[in-house]
A and B are shown apart, each in its own frame.
Chain A
Amino acid sequence: MMAFLKILLDNLRKGPATEAFPFGEAPTPPAYRGKVAFDADTCTGCKMCEHVCAGGAIRFAEDDDGLHFLIWHNTCISCGLCEYYCPTKAITLTNNWHLAHPQSEKYTQIDHGTVAQCRCTECGTAFLPAIPALMDLAYRGQNDRTKALAGMCPDCRRRATLSGARS
């Protein structure tokens, strides 16, 4: 019993073991898996994050404006699979864990991003471009020809590639 009294005294001397939050800052490690952030500029539209999302928090929809990315944070479980499987890391888990909100706002805890379509340099058809990050990943660097081809819709690209092979 005496041994434990010493532990008690030591613990008493050390003061509270809990963090002072909300009156002080709670330490958050850099690896902390918090609120999901999405960067439309580096998204390739492969939809792998939607496929692996265990909670069904991620949805994609496509219309004339482009590819719409939607995440409902309330059903996100912060497993980090979207970030792991994202080829360009357009989706990341931030250190932000300040997700508390009133019940009335639970259906509006949504982030939305649009991957814009671009016009084909040849025929003007709208299509989802291959972003530079994806081109770098696929070709290990780009040259003028790959850059020119990346600006074309799949049909024109096919035609241009074929004519390039002929000449």
Chain B
Amino acid sequence: MQSYEIPVGPLHVSLEEPMYFRISVEGETVTGLEVTAGHVHRGIEYLTTKRNIYQNLALTERVCSLCSNSHPQTYCMALEDIAQIAVPERALYLRAIADEIKRVASHMFNVAILAHIVGFESLFMHVMEAREIMQDTKETVFGNRMDIAANVIGGVKYDISRETSAYILHQLDRLEPILREQIRPIYATNRSITARTKGIGVIGLDHCIDYGLMGPVARGAGHGYDVRLAAPYGIYPQLDFEAVSYPDGDVWSRAMVRLDEALVAISLIRQCLAKLPEGPLSVGPLPHIPAGEAVAKTEAPRGELIYYLKTNGTDTPERLKWRVPSYMNWDVLQVMMDRARISDIPMIVNSIDPCISCTER
């Protein structure tokens, strides 16, 4: 059989983000993969050292849209570690609520795109419409559909009144039945979905360790690592939940992990709203940040997000660096795509939920 090399990307492989692969094929079968990265490098890490710590709250939020709350939150956690700030309990609850609302929307977006790639457009529309419930919630509670601007140094800058709390619960009551009784069963059993996703892009538990995989990609292959449980931060130790894990390591398992995690996130939001204590929202507007360095990590929708921050006593960071889960998850594509069919390439790429704008920043 004749061998070819085909270029895939840089535009519209599965998402509207630039990914560029050189794929070796034999007939219809993928035999090799080379990733060409760097199409959306904007130099944001460097830019953060040219902006002050307050401006960086907005800048880190704009690294990526789907995990836009995880970046400023982790950045704030690093600053608070350096300044030895104890964030008020109410603020920690509000941070968890913001993060979990974003997680529901992010996971639903990814599984919707899966349906789009399968060609099941009506399901894609249905999931995106259900996701609008979460988008409306964000707009109503935070004032924007994507960049929710919840975090400030030492706390949060939004509050939840009794009416807002009732509104969020009402929205969750609308979304949860759709997600639990309609969307999840379709992904679990519908032949159009399972025929294209089961047994596709398979990785094993050993790959998770070898490649340092994170998030739903690792949890879809039986590696139940979740930062919220493994290295608890914020208010998560006081919440009741378990890491979602599926054993098979295929595209379908990763989608199911995301759907189940969206349901877990809904339960976490409910727990936070029920327990939400009274108290201040932050430690005050202008905490002093001394010279120092810190590492903070959180569970972003795509997996473990690590921030390293070095300050020098001024209000401009000396160095800010982050590592995003997509960096490792990207590398394992060569395992997932080995012996795969050409038609499954977009499906496999989407299944790692790559965030190129985070990875290449």
- Report A's interface with B, CB cutoff 8 A: 1, 3-4, 7-8, 11, 17, 29, 31-33, 51-55, 77-81, 84-85, 87, 93
B149 touches A33 (CB 8 A): yes
The docked-state distance in angstroms from the alpha carbon of A32 to that of B143 is 4
- Report B's interface with A, CB cutoff 8 A: 51-52, 54-59, 61-62, 122-123, 126, 129, 132, 139-144, 147, 149, 152, 157-158, 182, 185-186, 190-192, 285-286
A80 touches B122 (CB 8 A): no
Q: What does DSSP make chain A's interface, helix, strand, loop or mixed?
A: loop
B54 touches A51 (CB 8 A): yes
A3 touches B186 (CB 8 A): yes
Least CB distance from A89 to B in Å reads: 12
The verdict on A85 contacting B122 (CB below 8 Å), with A29-B139, A54-B55, A80-B149 known, is: no
B-side contacts of A77, CB under 8 Å: 58, 62, 147
Contact of B126 among A7, A51, A54, A87 (CB under 8 A): A7
The verdict on A78 contacting B126 (CB below 8 Å), with A3-B185, A17-B132, A32-B139 known, is: no
Contact of A1 among B140, B157, B191 (CB under 8 A): B191
A54 touches B57 (CB 8 A): yes
Q: Most A CB atoms within 10 A — which of B132, B141, B182?
A: B182
Q: Which A-chain residue is minimally distant from B56 (CB atoms)?
A: A54
The verdict on A51 contacting B62 (CB below 8 Å), with A33-B149, A80-B149, A93-B143 known, is: no
User: 17 more A-B contacts (CB under 8 A) besides A31-B141, A33-B149, A84-B157?
Assistant: A1-B192, A3-B186, A4-B122, A4-B123, A7-B182, A29-B139, A31-B142, A54-B56, A55-B58, A77-B62, A79-B57, A79-B58, A79-B147, A81-B55, A81-B149, A85-B54, A85-B285
The docked-state distance in angstroms from the alpha carbon of A32 to that of B139 is 6
Least CB distance from B310 to A in Å reads: 21
What are 25 of the A-B contact pairs (CB < 8 Å)? A4-B123, A11-B126, A17-B129, A17-B132, A31-B142, A31-B143, A33-B143, A33-B149, A52-B52, A52-B54, A53-B55, A54-B54, A54-B55, A54-B56, A54-B59, A77-B58, A77-B147, A80-B143, A80-B149, A80-B157, A81-B54, A81-B58, A84-B152, A84-B157, A85-B54
Q: What does DSSP make chain B's interface, helix, strand, loop or mixed?
A: helix
Least CB distance from A30 to B in Å reads: 8
The docked-state distance in angstroms from the alpha carbon of A79 to that of B84 is 26
Q: Which A-chain residue is minimally distant from B178 (CB atoms)?
A: A7
A-side contacts of B286, CB under 8 Å: 85
The docked-state distance in angstroms from the alpha carbon of A55 to that of B59 is 9
Contact of A52 among B55, B62, B122, B191 (CB under 8 A): B55
B-side contacts of A53, CB under 8 Å: 55
Least CB distance from A75 to B in Å reads: 12
Least CB distance from A78 to B in Å reads: 7
The docked-state distance in angstroms from the alpha carbon of A8 to that of B59 is 41
A-side contacts of B57, CB under 8 Å: 54, 79, 81
B-side contacts of A31, CB under 8 Å: 139-143, 158
A-side contacts of B61, CB under 8 Å: 79
Contact of A8 among B56, B122, B144, B152 (CB under 8 A): B122
The docked-state distance in angstroms from the alpha carbon of A17 to that of B285 is 41
Least CB distance from A118 to B in Å reads: 27
A1 touches B190 (CB 8 A): yes
Q: Which B-chain residue is minimally distant from A55 (CB atoms)?
A: B58
The docked-state distance in angstroms from the alpha carbon of A33 to that of B158 is 12
The verdict on A29 contacting B143 (CB below 8 Å), with A3-B185, A7-B182, A79-B58 known, is: yes
The docked-state distance in angstroms from the alpha carbon of A32 to that of B148 is 10
B-side contacts of A84, CB under 8 Å: 152, 157, 285
The verdict on A51 contacting B52 (CB below 8 Å), with A31-B142, A77-B62, A79-B57 known, is: yes
Q: Which A-chain residue is minimally distant from B52 (CB atoms)?
A: A51
Q: Most A CB atoms within 10 A — which of B54, B139, B182, B186?
A: B54
B-side contacts of A55, CB under 8 Å: 58
Least CB distance from A55 to B in Å reads: 8
The docked-state distance in angstroms from the alpha carbon of A84 to that of B243 is 36
A54 touches B58 (CB 8 A): yes
Q: Which B-chain residue is minimally distant from A10 (CB atoms)?
A: B182
The docked-state distance in angstroms from the alpha carbon of A81 to that of B132 is 26
The docked-state distance in angstroms from the alpha carbon of A85 to that of B58 is 13
B-side contacts of A52, CB under 8 Å: 52, 54-55
B-side contacts of A78, CB under 8 Å: 143-144, 147
Q: Most B CB atoms within 10 A — which of A8, A78, A79?
A: A79
Least CB distance from B112 to A in Å reads: 14
